[in-house]
Amino acid sequence: MPATPALQITDLVKRYPTGVEALKGVSLDIGEGEFFGLLGPNGAGKSTLIHCTTGLAQPTSGDIRVFGHDAVHHYEQARAAVGLAPQEVNLDWFLTVEETLDYHGGYFGMPKRERRERAKELLAEFSLTEKRNDRTRTLSGGMKRRLILARALMHRPRLLILDEPTAGVDVELRLELWHYVQRINREGTTILLTTHYLEEAEQLCDHVAFINEGQVVAQGSSPELAAQFGVRSLEDAYLELVGRKELSRARAEADAA
């Protein structure tokens, strides 16, 4: 029997009340243990897909399963298996750093002692221990990003979803974050990542799906995608896809030579 996918999306359609059709029948499978990249231009529908998966948006039609659990109609088990670091910083400004983690654990039914231990471990991991009694609104941008990631991991999700986690963060934090995420991926956590950094996606992701105007337009490993578009890198495949191949760095270098 084939293993249950970590995430299985079938014919997902999302029409917002404004009439915008953000997803026009998307299907994709993410295997357990995979590091999966969802790439596409702004407005392609990446966050909408993630919001439908995590219960933040109601799909118009289609089916979403997280480790086999229906994420729309029986979302409790699906939600417990997912940790989300959303694109928009959505911290409660009146809570301290430690309370943020503790409340999140409480929401997922973790006993007090386990919450305390897990929070301590994550605060240390993300260099937030000294800030644990500070209110979230006083944190720097990078610290807020760290806390959002720690919060996503608090209940030990089997599927971690990172929606542009490194947009606007400094280089050190970006590298630190990738090291950490690669480690937990090696230890078994499935990762769904959206990012604008194509070189990083190429290094990190086993499998990539390109999404454009609400549709998955290509997918495969980075080498497969490059071959499909007749180019050498994931970035160039992306530029071909969005019709901007004149921006290719490989072409610029070839022209200069």
Q: Which of 52/78 has CB closer to ligand ADP? A: 52
Phi-psi region of 33 (alpha: psi -120 to 50; beta: other; left: phi over 0): left
By CB under 5 A, tell whether 195 contacts Mg ion. Answer: no
Q: Which of 6, 8, 47, 65 binds Mg ion (CB under 5 A)?
A: 47
Q: Which of 4/61 has CB closer to ligand ADP? A: 61
Q: Which does 45 bind (CB under 5 to 8 A by kind): ligand ADP, Mg ion, none?
A: ligand ADP
Q: Which residue, 37, 64, 63, is CA-closest to 53?
A: 64
By CB under 6 A, tell whether 48 contacts ligand ADP. Answer: yes
Q: What six digits make up the tokens of 67?
A: 């480790």
- Cβ–Cβ < 8 Å for 159, 6: yes
By CB under 5 A, tell whether 212 contacts Mg ion. Answer: no
- Cβ–Cβ < 8 Å for 199, 178: no
By CB under 6 A, tell whether 40 contacts ligand ADP. Answer: yes
What's at 149, amino acid-wise?
A: L
Residue 21 CB, nearest approach to ligand ADP (Å) = 8
Q: Which of 37/105 has CB closer to Mg ion? A: 37
Q: Taking CB under 6 A as the rule, which mask of x and - marks residues 115-134 in contact with ligand ADP?
A: --------------------
Number of neighbours of residue 21 by Cβ within 10 angstroms: 15
Q: Which of 1, 3, 18, 73 binds ligand ADP (CB under 6 A)?
A: 18
Distances (CA, A) of 1 to 9, 28, 70: 19, 19, 20
- Cβ–Cβ < 8 Å for 39, 209: yes
Residues that bind ligand ADP (CB under 6 A): 16, 18, 20, 22, 40, 42-48
